[in-house]
Amino acid sequence: MANAKSLRKNQTDVERRLWYALRNRQLSGYKFRRQHPISPYVVDFVCLECKLVVEVDGGQHADAVAQDMARTVFLEGLGYRVLRFWNNEVLENLEGMLTVILSALLSPSPQPSPLGGARE
């Protein structure tokens, strides 16, 4: 929890920009939290109501593909959907990103398989 609080205090300019668009239910009334712990991880943004995680990745993530995939698989196993965007997408196409996020919020969430297998 202390790590999440520290991350909220020290968010990047890109995270701050997206947060200003998501906070206070500005995106069609959906409530988002930022730097929210979903143990053992802290996700950038999450709408708990829709179980939607939004991650914003900088250049360092180009070298962390396996770790990011493991994180995504873990979160999906808990029933979350994960959207990943690059920092430059926030800076160059924030409105387009918000459209993708809203579309995900409005679409029904697929239920995880009780057997833990692939979803159809």
CA distance 113 to 115: 5
**Which amino acid belongs to residue 3?**
N
| Residue 10 pLDDT level (bands cut at 50, 70, 90) | low
pLDDT digits (tens, 9 = 90+) for 13-68: 899 999 999 999 999 999 999 999 998 999 999 999 999 999 998 766 456 688 88
Query: Count of residues for the chain?
Result: 120
Question: What is the domain partition of the chain in residue ranges?
Answer: 2-104
Please give the model's pTM, rounded to 2 decimal places.
0.81
pLDDT digits (tens, 9 = 90+) for 88-106: 999 999 999 999 999 999 9
**CATH architecture, range 2-104:** 3-Layer(aba) Sandwich (3.40)
Burial of 51-74, coded b for 16+ CB within 10 Å and e otherwise, reads bbbbbbbeeeeeeeeeeeeebbee
**Which amino acid belongs to residue 45?**
F
The confidence score (pLDDT) of residue 52 equals 97
* C-alpha radius of gyration, the chain, whole number: 14
